[in-house]
Structure 1
Amino acid sequence: MTRLSRVMEAVDQLHSDELFDVDVVDVTTDSREVRPGWIFVAVRGTSFDGHTAITNAVAAGAVAIVAEIAPNGPCGVPVVTVKDSRLAFAQIVRVVTNGPATGLHIYGVTGTNGKTTCATILEQMFALAGRRVGFIGTTGNRFAGEVLATNYTTPHARALADLFLEMRGHSIDTVCMEVSSHALDQHRVWGVPFRGAIFTNLTRDHLDYHRTMEAYGRAKKRLFDMLEPDAVAVLDADSEWTPYMKRHCKAERTITVGRDVDADVRIVDVDLSLRGASFALVRRRSDLQNIPPRLECTTSLLGDFNVTNAAVCAVMCLAEGISDADVVQHLSQVSGPAGRMERHLLPNGAVAVVDYAHTPDALDNALRVLRKLHADSSARPHIHVVFGCGGDRDKGKRPEMGRIAALHADFIWLTSDNPRSEDPADILRHILGGIEGAVRERTTVIEDRRDAIRAALAAAGPNDVVLVAGKGHEEYQIIGLERLPFSDAAEIIAIGTAGRSGSM
C-alpha cells in the first residue's frame, strides 16, 4: 500500500485539504465500490455526476475525495480539487498499481476505421515472431489462451491496469491494443508507455460525443502527443489528417505509409483478387535502415483498405526489428478479425458478408470492395446491403450512409442497429432521407433485424452478394435499456449456409 500524501503528489491539484497520514488501498470512480482505505474520484459522466455520491463514498470508508467541485462544507475526509477528474483518476491508478505496464512492449492503434484489423494483424505477426502477445480491443481482451469479453474498445484506467498486471503475471511481453477517441479524451491510457502507435484514418464518427471533427482529431492526436522519443509511429500517408498527427508526434521515428507520392514508404503495384492481395512496399527515406528498398508482400485479406492495414503493420514490424523474410511470411499467414469482411457461402451460391462497417467511410469501403471484386464475374451478381444506424448517436451520418448505400448497392434493406432509446422508425426515416434515384424503389424497410437479414438472404439470387453491415462481431442488440442476444453471423448460419469461408 501507498501513503495518501505520496499518491496525491502524482495528481495535478488545484487545491488540497491537509492530508491524513494513512495508507491507500485502492481507487475508484464508482461510489458503490468504495471500501475502507479507498480514494473516491468524483467524475461527471453523461448520465450520472459522481459529485452527488461523495457523501455515500465517505460513509463507505473513503480516506480522500478527488473532485472538480468541492462539496459544500466539510465531509470528514480530505478533499483534493482538480481541473480534470478523469486525468486525476488515471494518475492515481498508476501510483496505487505501481506502474502496471512496466516491462511491456505496448503498441496502440487509433483511427476511425481499421483499428481492430490492424491490432489483430500486429497481434498475429508479433506472435509468429516468437513474442508472447496480449490483445486489447473491440473483439475482446485475450492472452495466454484466455478470452475476456469487454464492453469497451479501450478499458477504463483501473481495468486497464488490472489487465496489464494479469498479462505480466502470464509472462506476456507484448500488447497490441486499440485506442479509441473516447479513451484518449477521457485519459484512460494516460501514462501507458506506448512503444509504438499506428494512425489509420479519421472520418466521420462519434460526433454525438466530440461534436466537431476538430475535437475528434484533437482526441486522436493525444496518442502521438504522449509517445516517448524512442517510440515509433506509423501513419497512413493517404489520410488528410496525417500531417496534423505528425506535427504533434513526439516519436523521433515517425514513418508515413501509403500510395501518396510523398509517403516515406510507398504502397505500389497493388493487385486485388478474391484470394487476397499482393503489393510492394518501396522505401523513399534512406535513414529507415530496418526497411528494405523494396519488399514484395501478399495478404489473404481483401480490398484496398486492407492493403493499407497490412502495409502499416508490416512497416511497424520492420521498424521493430523483425526481418524482411519473416514479415513477408507472417503477413501472408495472418487472418482478419471476426466480423470484418467475414464471408459465409449460401446453398444457392450467393455469398453473405458480415462486416462492422458502421460509419460512412467504412460502408463505402466495404461496398466498393465487394462491387470491384465481383465486377468481372460473368454472372453479374447483385449487391444487397442490410444496415441501420445506432440510436442515441451521431444523427448526421444517417442520410450520408443512405446516400452511400444508394451509390453502390442494387438492393437496400434498412433495419435496426442498436436503436437504444430512440424510436427505430425515426432512425430509419433519417437514413431513407439520403437514398435517392432508382434504388429508392429497391429499398425495403424492415425494422426487425432478424427479419431483414432473412428477407435479404431469401431475395439473393445465385452469385449475389449480401453485405450485412454495422454490427460485425457483436453478439447483442441494444433495444431500450436491454442488451439482447443477437449475432448477424449466427442468424446467417441458422438460415442455412454452405459454410463459413473465413474473413475476406
Structure 2
Amino acid sequence: MSRIPPLEGLRTSGFRLQVKSLWPEAYSPKPASPSRPRQGGHDVPAHNPHSPVSLKALLPHAQFVGDDDVLVAHATERSEMVSPGSLFAAIPGTQRNGEDFARDAVLRGAEALLLSRELPDLSVPQCLVPDVRRAFALLCDALAGHPSQTLKVAGVTGTNGKTTTTWLIRSILRAAGHPTGVLGTIEYSDGSRHERAGLTTPDSQVLSNWLASMVASGTTHAAMELSSHALDQGRACGTQIDVAIVTNVTQDHFDYHQNFETYLTAKTRIAEHLKPDGVLVLNADDAGSSAIAQRVDLGGRIVTFGIDHEADVTATIVKESTAGTQFVLGCGEGAEPVLIPMIGRHNVANAAAAAAAAYHFGVPLKTIALGIELLPAVPGRLERVNAGQPFDVFVDFAHTEDALRRCVSNLRQLCSKRVIVVFGAGGDRDRSKRPKMAQAVLGADLIVVTSDNPRTEDPQRILEDILAGFALSFPPLHVEPNRKAAIAWTLAEAHPGDCVLIAGKGHETEQIIGTQRFPFDDREVVRTAWRDVGRPAFRRTGVAPTA
C-alpha cells in the first residue's frame, strides 16, 4: 500500500492535483431545477389576524422621518415580495445592502421603509434604527402574534449535535402526548406540515410564520436549532425559549466569526432568549459549553448533562456496538435503561441534552427513555446505509474537526477491522479548519480525500489545504476529486468487517459546484455504486494519490 509523501515533496516532485472537472462523463448529473426555492418556508401563510403593529410602540428608540409613527400590517426584507401597503426592511447583507433595493420596493408599492439611515430621495415614511435586522425580527414576531409566548420552546445551539438533539426532543415530547414542531437543518415542521429546510435557522419572517403556524395548528411545543450566525445577527430577536441548550462549542464558521472568542460569544447569546423561568442546559463534558456558565447571570437556572463528569442529567454507557448503544439515563433520584439504534458517545450526549429539556417540560423519566428509543435514526447522522455489502457504511454530516474526530474514534472502538473515511471540505468557508480536519481523521486505517461542496472556490485549492494537514503524517491515502468516483472506489476497496464513514454532506441531496446545484445524495450514491462494484473499473488497484 503506497503512502503519500509530505506536501512539500509533492510540490518539488511536480505533483499537482489537476481538477479539470468534478464530473467525469459517466457520472455527470443534471442540474437541479432552478425554480425550487433555496430557503424553505416562504409559502407558509403569515398568520396575522392581529391589529397593525405600531413601530413607535415596538421600537421606542427609533427615529421617524415623514411621520411620527408607522402602522405596519405587512413587512418584507425582499423587494420582489413587496405588495402595495407593505413596509420594506433594508437589511445589510454580506454582498449587497438592502438600501440598494429601497427604490425598487417603493416603486412596487412599499409605503414605509425600515432603515439604518435616512434616504432623502424617497418620499415615504422612514423608521430609522441602529440595527435593521434585529428590528425587523422584532417586527416579524409582533406581526405573527408573538407565537413563542404561547408555545413551549426548546432552542439548541452548538458546533455539533443540534439536529440530533432537536429530533430527540421532538420524539420525547411526542411520546408524552405533546404535538411538537421542529425547525432546523433538515426540515421545518409545524407538527403536521413538513418542508425541506433552507437554513439551519430560517430568516426572521419565515421563523415567525412557522412558529405562528404551529400555534394555529394546535402544536404545543417546538424544538428549534439556533445557529451562531442567527444568534449573532439577531435573526431570532423576539423569539423566547423555555430551554436553551448548548451541546458543545469547538471550531467552526471562523470565516464569519474570525476566532473562537467571538464564536463563543455568539453561542452565549442563546441565553438572551430565555423566558424568565427558562433554563440553560450546558454540557459538563465540553469545555466550550461549560465556559458559558461564567458568562451569564442566571442564578440557579443552569442544568448540566454529561457522560464523564458529574452533572444533573447523566448517561452511563453500558454497551456499544455498530448495531446500537445501551446506556442508563439518570436524573435526580431516578434512572432508566435506554437502548438506541444510534451509535457513538456523542449521540448518547445528545440524548442526555434532550432529556434535560424534556425533564424541564415535566415529562417523566420513563417517558423520556421511551421517547429516545422511539427515534430510529436521524437522516445523515451516522446513518447506516445497507446496500447488501458485507461491511458497515455510515453517512454523516460531520464537517468540523471535532465531529470528524468523534466519528472516527467511535467507529475505531466498534469496528472489528479497518475504518475507512471519505471526506472533503466545503468551499467558500473557513480555510483554517481544513488541515485540522485532516489531522482529525488520522485514526482511520484508510483515508479518501474528495470534494464536498466546492461552491465557487477552486476545488484544487481546497484539496491542497486538506493535504497540508497530512504533511508530517504519511497516512494511507487516496485522493479522488470526484465525490461519486471516490465513494465507488472506497466500496470496491472495503473488505468484509470494515467500517466505511462517508462524511461531510449527511442528509444533503445536492452538491454545489460553482453556483449550480446538482442532485447528489451520498446514501443513493452508495446504493448505486455497490451494484456496479463488480465492474472492471472498480477493481482494487491499491492505494495511491490520484492526479
**CA separation in 2, counterparts of 1:497 and 1:342?**
20
Query: 1:235·1:254 contact (CA, 8 Å) conserved in 2?
Result: yes
Which residue number corresponds to residue 395 of structure 2?
354
TM (norm. structure 1) is 0.90
The aligned runs of 1:334-373 (5 Å cut-off) are 334-373=375-414
User: Of 98, 104, 116, which residue of structure 1 is paired with 2:163?
Assistant: 116
**CA separation in 2, counterparts of 1:98 and 1:312?**
30
Which residue number corresponds to residue 224 of structure 2?
177
In structure 1, stretches of 5+ residues that fail to align are 284-290, 499-504
User: Of 501, 506, 530, which residue of structure 2 is paired with 1:467?
Assistant: 501
Query: 1:384·1:467 contact (CA, 8 Å) conserved in 2?
Result: yes
Which residue number corresponds to residue 333 of structure 2?
292
Q: How far did residue 108 of structure 1 move?
A: 0.9
Query: 1:40·1:62 contact (CA, 8 Å) conserved in 2?
Result: yes
Which residue number corresponds to residue 485 of structure 1?
519
Over 3 Å counting, the alpha-carbon distance change for 1:187 and 1:168 in structure 2 is same
Matched AA of 2:508: E
Over 3 Å counting, the alpha-carbon distance change for 1:97 and 1:330 in structure 2 is closer
Q: How far did residue 390 of structure 1 move?
A: 0.5
Query: 1:386·1:414 contact (CA, 8 Å) conserved in 2?
Result: yes
**CA separation in 2, counterparts of 1:453 and 1:273?**
24
- 1:423 aligns to 2:458 (yes or no): yes
Q: How far did residue 124 of structure 1 move?
A: 0.7
Question: Match of 1:335, SS?
Answer: coil
Which residue number corresponds to residue 93 of structure 1?
140
**CA separation in 2, counterparts of 1:474 and 1:261?**
34
**CA separation in 2, counterparts of 1:21 and 1:342?**
53
Query: 1:229·1:250 contact (CA, 8 Å) conserved in 2?
Result: no
Which residue number corresponds to residue 528 of structure 2?
494
Q: How far did residue 468 of structure 1 move?
A: 0.6
In structure 2, stretches of 5+ residues that fail to align are 1-49, 533-547
**CA separation in 1, counterparts of 2:470 and 2:277?**
49
Over 3 Å counting, the alpha-carbon distance change for 1:454 and 1:80 in structure 2 is same
User: Of 380, 395, 399, which residue of structure 1 is paired with 2:435?
Assistant: 399
Matched AA of 2:270: L
Q: Deviations over 1:23-59 (max 9, x none)?
A: 5331111122122211111111111111112222222
The aligned runs of 1:73-472 (5 Å cut-off) are 73-247=120-294, 248=296, 250=298, 252-268=300-316, 270-282=318-330, 291-374=332-415, 377=416, 381-405=417-441, 407-436=442-471, 439-440=474-475, 442-472=476-506
Q: How far did residue 267 of structure 1 move?
A: 3.4
User: Of 105, 109, 115, which residue of structure 2 is paired with 1:67?
Assistant: 115
Q: Deviations over 1:417-453 (max 9, x none)?
A: 110111101100000010145644x312111111111
Q: How far did residue 250 of structure 1 move?
A: 3.9
Which residue number corresponds to residue 40 of structure 1?
88
Query: 2:423·2:449 contact (CA, 8 Å) conserved in 1?
Result: yes
Matched AA of 1:479: I
Q: Deviations over 1:381-439 (max 9, x none)?
A: 2211111100000000000011122x211111111111011110110000001014564
Question: Match of 1:321, SS?
Answer: coil
Question: Match of 2:311, SS?
Answer: coil
How many residue pairs get matched? 482
Q: How far did residue 318 of structure 1 move?
A: 2.1
Which residue number corresponds to residue 10 of structure 1?
58
Q: How far did residue 20 of structure 1 move?
A: 6.5
**CA separation in 1, counterparts of 2:142 and 2:192?**
29
Which residue number corresponds to residue 26 of structure 1?
74
Matched AA of 1:458: A
**CA separation in 2, counterparts of 1:207 and 1:468?**
24
Question: Match of 1:231, SS?
Answer: strand
Matched AA of 2:463: L
Question: Match of 1:228, SS?
Answer: strand
Q: How far did residue 14 of structure 1 move?
A: 4.8
Matched AA of 2:410: V
Query: 2:188·2:195 contact (CA, 8 Å) conserved in 1?
Result: yes
Q: How far did residue 119 of structure 1 move?
A: 0.4
Deviates more, 1:58-67 or 1:175-184: 58-67
Query: 2:140·2:208 contact (CA, 8 Å) conserved in 1?
Result: yes
Matched AA of 1:121: L
Deviates more, 1:421-430 or 1:322-331: 322-331
Over 3 Å counting, the alpha-carbon distance change for 1:313 and 1:3 in structure 2 is closer
Matched AA of 1:186: Q
Q: Deviations over 1:434-491 (max 9, x none)?
A: 0145644x31211111111111111111222211100000000111111111110010
**CA separation in 1, counterparts of 2:461 and 2:141?**
44
Query: 2:336·2:366 contact (CA, 8 Å) conserved in 1?
Result: no
**CA separation in 2, counterparts of 1:46 and 1:187?**
15
**CA separation in 2, counterparts of 1:184 and 1:497?**
45
Over 3 Å counting, the alpha-carbon distance change for 1:37 and 1:319 in structure 2 is same
Deviates more, 1:470-479 or 1:457-466: 457-466
Query: 1:12·1:88 contact (CA, 8 Å) conserved in 2?
Result: no
Question: Match of 1:391, SS?
Answer: coil
**CA separation in 1, counterparts of 2:299 and 2:205?**
26
**CA separation in 2, counterparts of 1:107 and 1:249?**
19
Deviates more, 1:143-152 or 1:200-209: 143-152
Q: Percent identity?
A: 36
Matched AA of 2:127: V
Matched AA of 1:301: M
**CA separation in 1, counterparts of 2:463 and 2:143?**
48
Which residue number corresponds to residue 105 of structure 2?
57
Question: Match of 2:276, SS?
Answer: coil
Deviates more, 1:102-111 or 1:330-339: 330-339
Query: 1:230·1:252 contact (CA, 8 Å) conserved in 2?
Result: no
Q: How far did residue 348 of structure 1 move?
A: 4.3
**CA separation in 2, counterparts of 1:22 and 1:359?**
45
Which residue number corresponds to residue 288 of structure 1?
none
Query: 1:340·1:356 contact (CA, 8 Å) conserved in 2?
Result: yes
TM (norm. structure 2) is 0.84
Matched AA of 1:457: L
Which residue number corresponds to residue 286 of structure 1?
none
